[in-house]
Structure 1
Amino acid sequence: MAKVTINENRCKGCKLCISVCPKKIIIVQDKLNSKGFHPVGISDMEKCIGCAFCAMMCPDCVIEVEK
């Protein structure tokens, strides 16, 4: 199983990672981070296949994928 780690305080909620996730498990959270943005999160880590498309797409390099 893959593990996705998102640095929520650096995420600006651009949603680019959401558009490339083949399993559609990345969501925008309701809470705000320290900079006033809604960061993304993972809805169901069990479904993650570890493709790392989200990490490659992130312009701020806030996503890490471990297999």
Structure 2
Amino acid sequence: MARITVDDFFCKGCGLCVDVCPVSILELDPDVITAKGYHPAHCTDQEKCTGCATCALMCPDVAITVER
């Protein structure tokens, strides 16, 4: 099973990962604000992750790690 980890320190909430996720399991967390003032991305359902790593490839800040 694949697992997505988003590093809140580097995530600036740009939403590019949310747009490219083929199974729509990423979203910006409206309840969390990082120390830099951003709403970071987070995975809503790890079970549905296919491990395609499109989110990690799209992330300009290298804030996403995908483990397969």
TM-score by length of 1: 0.97
For 1:41 and 1:18, the matched residues in 2 are separated by 9
Structure 1 residue 10: Cα displacement = 1.3
Corresponding residue of 1:19? 19
For 2:37 and 2:49, the matched residues in 1 are separated by 27
For 2:9 and 2:63, the matched residues in 1 are separated by 9
Q: Which runs of 5+ in 2 are unaligned?
A: none
For 1:18 and 1:28, the matched residues in 2 are separated by 8
For 2:18 and 2:60, the matched residues in 1 are separated by 13
Corresponding residue of 1:66? 67
1:46 match: secondary structure: helix
Computed over aligned residues only, the root mean square deviation of the Cα atoms, in angstroms, reads 0.6
Q: How many residues end up aligned between the 2 structures?
A: 67
1:41 match: secondary structure: strand
For 2:63 and 2:9, the matched residues in 1 are separated by 9
Q: Which runs of 4+ in 1 moved over 3 A?
A: none
Identity across the alignment (%): 49
TM-score by length of 2: 0.95
Q: Which runs of 5+ in 1 are unaligned?
A: none
